[in-house]
Amino acid sequence: MKARLDCDYVQCMVPPERHQICAAKQIGYCWGPLGHQHTPKRSQGGKACWVMLCAGHADMIDNGVKTAGLRLKDEVIVWPNDEDEPSNYVIRDRNTDEILRSIEL
């Protein structure tokens, strides 16, 4: 997958149709501006951005903030036989590990 040419962020992998939508909007109420979500975090060596998140959901995921009974975490999954290419961005419940949202990359 190649980075987008129409975004100012060099490592943006978000397709144009999802660039103005919070990837976690189906999970709960969105608040704050949209931003690029780095997975893994930049502090952990992550450079690529696979989705856009509102400030509220980004805070829940990055800092473990509990809101509306949920604590979230995210990851990029490489399914077997995908030749090491990222295939899904997943948001999980930190307590139960249940997948709450999965987005094909």
What pLDDT, on the 0 to 100 scale, is given for residue 68? 80
Please report whether residue 63 resides in a domain: yes
From residue 87, alpha-carbon distances to 35, 37, 50, 95 in Å are 21, 16, 10, 24
Number of domains in the chain: 1
User: What is the rounded distance in angstroms from the CA atom of residue 68 to the CA atom of residue 84?
Assistant: 35
What pLDDT, on the 0 to 100 scale, is given for residue 44? 67
pTM for the structure as a whole: 0.82
Please report whether residue 62 resides in a domain: yes
Please report whether residue 49 resides in a domain: yes
User: What is the rounded distance in angstroms from the CA atom of residue 79 to the CA atom of residue 18?
Assistant: 22
Regions of the chain with pLDDT less than 70: 1-6, 42-46, 81-85
Please report whether residue 43 resides in a domain: yes
Please report whether residue 41 resides in a domain: yes
What pLDDT, on the 0 to 100 scale, is given for residue 84? 66
Please report whether residue 5 resides in a domain: no
Please report whether residue 46 resides in a domain: yes
Can you give the residue range of the structural domain that contains 60? 16-104
Tokens describing residue 74: 């995210």
What pLDDT, on the 0 to 100 scale, is given for residue 39? 80
Please report whether residue 54 resides in a domain: yes
